[in-house]
Amino acid sequence: MTKKTVKTKLRPLVAGNWKMNGTGADMKQVRALVKTLSGNHRYACDTMICPPATLLSRLAALRTSLKASRKLALGGQDCHAAVSGAHTGDVSAEMLKEAGASAVIVGHSERRSDHGETDKQVKAKVEAAHRAGLTAIMCIGESLKQRKAGDTLKVVGKQLRGSLPDGCTASNTVIAYEPVWAIGSGLTPTVEQVAQVHLALRKALQRRFGEAGSTMRILYGGSVKPSNADELMAVPHVNGALVGGASLTARDFSGILAAYKA
């Protein structure tokens, strides 16, 4: 069976969220990924790794030494809304920018559930990312209970409205739809379910932001892996992926990038 290459009008983004995983020993995975990106393989997508904050500056230095700054972007996993202050354990968007990040994930379901983050707080973090010159990768998604109740579009629509400030553009904002029940579970929605949500999000973005809403990338996340990447990335209005566990090894992550092989 011949592998099909996904084609899309918007330049896709495949971003790996390492979450609370990774030490210096795992930098070898980034070396291997850069080797793949620099080899004979050509992928028609942007590639990003979002490591723990402890590795960000080290990976930025590694990327520079490998002359891969244009091949691999780096992002943070969260930021505080303030520039600085008495916020022990937090990291500002400006700090992430200085460490080598060009983007930051905000509003991930694990932040919303583990730390009780509200749409209002996520919105403030999106604004902080913009203030620092970072692209905000803003996450939304429904729980299994909400999915079963038929409230998916209502839930993600509310999150989208409440978490995005005015002034969002294709260059400073990316949306990531991650059904909470699919993250790390091995379960994925059907292609039809993904298509329904992404179309609804696209229409909502267009209504609010006009032409800019037509060009913002909408990523799909939730148990994305090499075996289902082709199918998921081919869904209309899916402009890439936010990848969790499969981004921890260069082999699996490259298998997902292969959906966009040029």
pLDDT digits (tens, 9 = 90+) for 165-189: 999 999 999 999 999 999 888 888 9
Residue 81 lies in a domain: no
Beta bridge pairs of residue 92:
80
Q: Which of 94, 178, 198, 237 is catalytic?
A: 178
User: Domain tally for the chain?
Assistant: 1
Grouping H, G, I as helix, E, B as strand and the rest as coil, residue 107 is coil
In a domain, 3, yes or no: no
- Our answer to whether residue 108 is catalytic in this structure is yes
pLDDT at 3 over 80: no
Note whether residue 154 is domain-resident.
yes
Would you place residue 1 in the very low, low, confident or very high pLDDT band (cuts 50, 70, 90)?
very low
By percentage, how much of the chain surpasses pLDDT 70?
A: 97
pLDDT tens string 44-69: 999 999 999 999 999 999 999 999 99
Residue 2 buriedness (CB in 10 A; 0-12 / 13-18 / 19+): exposed
Q: What is the CATH number of the domain that holds 28?
A: 3.20.20.70
Nearest to 125 by CA among 115, 136, 116: 136
| 115 catalytically annotated | no
Q: Is the pLDDT of residue 192 over 80?
A: yes
H or E element at residue 161:
helix 152-163
Pairwise CA distance, residues 159 & 107, whole Å: 9
Question: Is 197 in contact with 236 (CB distance < 8 Å)?
Answer: no
The answer to whether position 80 is within a domain reads: no
Active-site annotation holder among 108, 130, 198, 237: 108
pTM: 0.95
Range of the domain at 160: 13-61+92-260
Q: Please report whether residue 86 resides in a domain.
A: no
- Domain assignment present for 75: no
77-91 pLDDT, tens digit per residue, is 999 999 999 999 999
Task: Let me know if residue 178 belongs to a domain.
Answer: yes
Give per-residue pLDDT as tens, 223-252. Answer: 999 999 999 999 999 999 999 999 999 999
**8-37 tens-digit pLDDT:** 589 999 999 999 999 999 999 999 999 999
